[in-house]
């Protein structure tokens, strides 16, 4: 059946029988299934030309959708069951999300043409193999981080990525909205964040073969309505969006817009522009009450734009905050005294803990990179473990929820093969096989601590990805391997059947081709890549 990610249980008819659709199939959707019915009409309708009208009273739909909450207990949240036989398609989800994931399986079974936006000419004749599938995800957090700060991805691209996540049964989009190199979300109260902070004169090193790298200015941002649209689009597709506003490091774009946010007693922050280089930046936020208020105002708007149903988790960064300016700044030293915190690290913890409480009081949970562990955290805070598994292990053992995204495994900015022709010379090699053998739960965790691993995400940092073609190249096919590692219940990493996965990938490449995804070809980059 060549399904990716591989389902928990699947059987296919031994006689090879198939259900053949007529030219005008009808759809029966039970209560709670209306959203997925709409999705099928829109997406499968585009590829097949079907209108999928509602089945009349007493008529049996060719496709029958139902939500059966009773199933959640036995099969788990987001689970689905799919049967195809002489009676057509029966798809039942434990919830609407499960139903949507089942619809992805259905689409894969229909074949690559089901991923196109218009029917192909010629004798169509859609059919499905008789199958029985019972499937459920291993983890509730199956995510991808998209860094839209280093290089802006226009709104249409983000919506397309939401569709690509859905096609792989992934359900979290972590949007890295701010960094030294750009501020990408309009904040009405502080307009200079995007008027100034969304634009940089040039990026000093793009991709070596790119005609864009040389002194090309770069910028862009999402308006408030763009964000509302992205969030609504994701919500309809059962994708949670985690907005990230990175503090107190990675903040030079904000300081360029509002110099009072920086450490003015040690640097002339008014002279700073949006950063035109990559790496870890020393221009960090000043540890003042005014800065806290400013960011509370920012987060107030963020919470308004990202409602709790779609974004129960809000990311505050917390990574890579060099302390040199705080060490040099008399004002920061006085603050350390005044607050009675433990040096510069204590100041960083003070920042994060402030927003931890602030977000908790508003019904949200803070997420931060594993540096936030340094300094003590409230119980509800979630840790993104990126510097390997260590932070995640420590956090889980201390009772915090964790999202695993170790750079050694799932940083998709790192190159996927060695070789001089490889267009992305960043980091170490993280091959398709490496990603396939990614295991979110380290074996040394106790069962109790392992229960704190909410799941995992693949991180797409875009320093060297200045357009969608480059993002596609880095993300695919590795995201397909990642999806299987977080959705499916695979054996231990060493005993995983990578060859079997590769064999199934042949069918998956055809789906990606139909979708127009510019993945890295298995034989290596094309000459223009
Ligand atoms: C580290 S991961 C970073 C990012 C970079 C990335 C490049 C993390 C929390 N910080 O700012 O883009 O490495 O691989």
pLDDT (tens digit, 9 = 90+) per residue, 155-175? 999 999 999 999 999 999 999
Tell me, yes or no, whether 66 and 163 share the same domain.
Answer: no
Count of Cβ atoms closer than 10 Å to residue 125 Cβ: 9
Residue 3 lies in a domain: no
List, for residues 212-264, the tens digit of each pLDDT value.
555 678 899 999 999 999 999 999 999 999 999 999 999 999 999 999 999 99
Tell me, yes or no, whether 154 and 129 share the same domain.
Answer: no
> Which of 461, 462, 465 most suits a substitution to test ligand 1, by most atoms within 8 Å of the C-beta?
461
Tell me, yes or no, whether 387 and 360 share the same domain.
Answer: yes
Ligand 1 geometric centre to CA of 279 (Å) = 8
Q: Kindly state the average pLDDT of the residues 419-445.
A: 91
Ligand 1 geometric centre to CA of 103 (Å) = 35
Closest CA to 19 of 71, 91, 72: 91
Which of 95, 117, 135 corresponds to the end of one domain? 135
- Residues 232/162, Cβ–Cβ less than 8 Å: no
Question: By three-state DSSP, how is residue 185 classified?
Answer: strand
pLDDT at 423 over 90: no
Give the per-residue pLDDT at 277: 86
Residues 424 and 511: their CA atoms lie apart, in Å, by 24
Is residue 413 in contact with ligand 1, taking CB distance under 6 Å? yes
Is residue 246 in contact with ligand 1, taking CB distance under 6 Å? no
Is residue 319 in contact with ligand 1, taking CB distance under 6 Å? yes
pLDDT: which is higher, 92 or 56: 92
Sign of CA dihedral 296, 301, 305, 307: positive
Mean per-residue pLDDT of the chain: 95
Question: Which residues lie closer than 8 Å to 252 by C-beta, 6 or more apart?
Answer: 180, 181, 272, 274, 275, 281, 283
- Burial class for 421, CB neighbours closer than 10 Å (0-12, 13-18, 19+): exposed
Give the per-residue pLDDT at 369: 97
Question: 289-305 and 343-360 helices cross at what angle (nearest 10)?
Answer: 40
Which of 135, 159, 186 corresponds to the end of one domain? 135
List, for residues 349-395, the tens digit of each pLDDT value.
999 999 999 999 999 999 999 999 987 787 789 999 999 999 999 99
Q: Estimate to the nearest angstrom the gap between the alpha carbon of 195 and the chain centroid.
A: 27
pLDDT: which is higher, 452 or 215: 452
Is residue 369 in contact with ligand 1, taking CB distance under 6 Å? yes
Residue 81 lies in a domain: yes
Is residue 275 in contact with ligand 1, taking CB distance under 6 Å? no
pLDDT at 210 over 60: no
Q: Kindly state the average pLDDT of the residues 337-351.
A: 94
Tell me, yes or no, whether 386 and 494 share the same domain.
Answer: yes
Residue ranges making up the domain that contains 65: 9-135
Tell me, yes or no, whether 99 and 169 share the same domain.
Answer: no
- Residues 285/317, Cβ–Cβ less than 8 Å: no
Give the per-residue pLDDT at 102: 98
Give the per-residue pLDDT at 124: 63
Q: Which residue has the tokens 């790496």?
A: 279
Residue 387 lies in a domain: yes
List, for residues 239-248, the tens digit of each pLDDT value.
999 999 999 9
Structure tokens at 132: 């029985």
CATH of the domain at 84: 3.30.379.10
Is residue 320 in contact with ligand 1, taking CB distance under 6 Å? yes
pLDDT at 513 over 90: yes
Q: Kindly state the average pLDDT of the residues 26-46.
A: 97
Residue 4 lies in a domain: no
Q: What percent of the chain has pLDDT over 70?
A: 97
Tell me, yes or no, whether 109 and 231 share the same domain.
Answer: no
Residue 42 lies in a domain: yes
Give the per-residue pLDDT at 105: 98
Give the per-residue pLDDT at 121: 84
Atom number in ligand 1 closest to CA 414: 14
Atom number in ligand 1 closest to CA 411: 14
Q: What is the CA radius of gyration of the chain?
A: 24
CATH of the domain at 496: 3.20.20.80
Question: 34-48 and 96-110 helices cross at what angle (nearest 10)?
Answer: 20
pLDDT at 209 over 60: no
Tell me, yes or no, whether 110 and 148 share the same domain.
Answer: no
Give the per-residue pLDDT at 529: 83
Residue 193 lies in a domain: yes
pLDDT at 204 over 80: no
* Out of 59-68, 81-90, 371-380, least confident range: 371-380
Residue 424 lies in a domain: yes
Say how many domains are in the chain: 2
Residue 525 lies in a domain: no
Tell me, yes or no, whether 176 and 215 share the same domain.
Answer: yes
Catalytic positions are 179, 250, 320
- Residues 51/41, Cβ–Cβ less than 8 Å: yes
Residues 409 and 428: their CA atoms lie apart, in Å, by 10
Tell me, yes or no, whether 122 and 238 share the same domain.
Answer: no
Count of Cβ atoms closer than 10 Å to residue 414 Cβ: 21
Please give the helix or strand (H or E) that residue 158 lies within, else none: helix 155-167
Closest-CA residue, ligand 1 atom 5, reads 461
Q: What percent of the chain has pLDDT over 90?
A: 89
Give the per-residue pLDDT at 300: 98
Confidence of residue 94 (pLDDT cuts 50, 70, 90): very high
Which of 135, 155, 175 corresponds to the end of one domain? 135
Closest-CA residue, ligand 1 atom 7, reads 461
Give the per-residue pLDDT at 208: 52
Atom number in ligand 1 closest to CA 461: 12
Q: Kindly state the average pLDDT of the residues 412-420.
A: 92
Confidence of residue 421 (pLDDT cuts 50, 70, 90): confident
Tell me, yes or no, whether 159 and 27 share the same domain.
Answer: no
Tell me, yes or no, whether 233 and 307 share the same domain.
Answer: yes
- Residues 235/310, Cβ–Cβ less than 8 Å: yes
Closest-CA residue, ligand 1 atom 8, reads 319
Tell me, yes or no, whether 372 and 494 share the same domain.
Answer: yes
The strand pair at 401-404 and 382-385 is best described as parallel
């Amino acid at each position: 059946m060549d399904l990716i990610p591989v389902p928990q249980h699947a059987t296919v008819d031994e006689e090879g029988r198939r259900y053949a659709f007529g030219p005008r199939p009808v759809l029966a959707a039970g209560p709670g299934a209306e959203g997925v019915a709409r999705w099928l009409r829109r997406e499968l309708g585009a590829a097949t030309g079907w209108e999928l009208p509602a089945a009349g009273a007493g008529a049996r739909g060719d496709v029958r959708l139902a939500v059966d909450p009773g199933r959640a207990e036995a099969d788990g949240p987001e689970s689905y069951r799919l049967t195809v036989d002489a009676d057509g398609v029966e798809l039942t989800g434990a919830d609407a999300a499960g139903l949507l994931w089942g619809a992805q399986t259905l689409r894969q079974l229909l074949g690559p043409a089901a991923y196109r936006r218009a029917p192909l000419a010629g004798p169509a004749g859609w059919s499905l193999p008789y199958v029985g599938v019972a499937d459920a995800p291993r983890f509730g957090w199956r995510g991808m981080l998209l860094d839209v700060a280093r290089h802006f991805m226009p709104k249409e691209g983000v919506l397309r990525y939401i569709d690509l996540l859905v096609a792989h049964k992934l359900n979290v989009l972590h949007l890295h909205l701010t960094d030294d190199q750009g501020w990408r979300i309009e904040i009405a109260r502080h307009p200079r964040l995007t008027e100034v902070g969304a634009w940089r004169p040039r990026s000093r090193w793009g991709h070596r073969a790119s005609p864009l790298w040389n002194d090309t200015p770069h910028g862009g941002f999402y308006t408030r309505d763009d964000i509302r649209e992205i969030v609504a689009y994701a919500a309809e597709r059962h994708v949670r969006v985690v907005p990230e506003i990175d503090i107190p490091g990675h903040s030079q774009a904000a300081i360029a817009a509002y110099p009072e946010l920086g450490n003015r007693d040690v640097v002339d922050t008014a002279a700073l522009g949006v950063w035109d280089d990559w790496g870890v930046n020393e221009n960090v936020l000043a540890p003042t009450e005014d800065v806290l208020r400013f960011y509370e105002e920012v987060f107030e708007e963020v919470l308004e734009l990202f409602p709790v149903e779609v974004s129960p988790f809000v990311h505050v960064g917390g990574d890579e905050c060099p302390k040199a300016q705080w060490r040099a700044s008399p004002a920061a030293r006085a603050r350390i005294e005044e607050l009675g915190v433990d040096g510069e690290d204590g100041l960083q913890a003070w920042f994060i803990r402030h927003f931890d409480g602030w977000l908790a009081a508003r019904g949200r949970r803070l997420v931060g990179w594993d540096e936030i562990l340094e300094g003590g955290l409230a119980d509800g805070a979630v840790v993104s473990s990126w510097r390997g598994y260590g932070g995640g292990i420590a956090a889980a053992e201390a009772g915090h929820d964790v999202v695993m995204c170790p750079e050694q495994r799932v940083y998709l900015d790192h190159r996927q093969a060695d070789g001089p022709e490889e267009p992305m010379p960043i980091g170490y090699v993280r091959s398709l096989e490496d990603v396939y053998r990614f295991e979110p739960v380290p074996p040394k965790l106790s069962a109790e601590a392992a229960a704190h691993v909410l799941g995992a995400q693949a991180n797409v940092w875009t320093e060297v990805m200045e357009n969608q073609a480059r993002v596609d190249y880095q993300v695919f096919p590795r995201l397909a391997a990642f999806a299987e590692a977080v959705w499916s219940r695979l054996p231990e990493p060493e005993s995983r059947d990578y060859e079997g996965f590769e064999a199934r990938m042949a069918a998956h490449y055809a789906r990606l081709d139909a979708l127009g995804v510019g993945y890295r070809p298995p034989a290596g980059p094309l000459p223009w890549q």
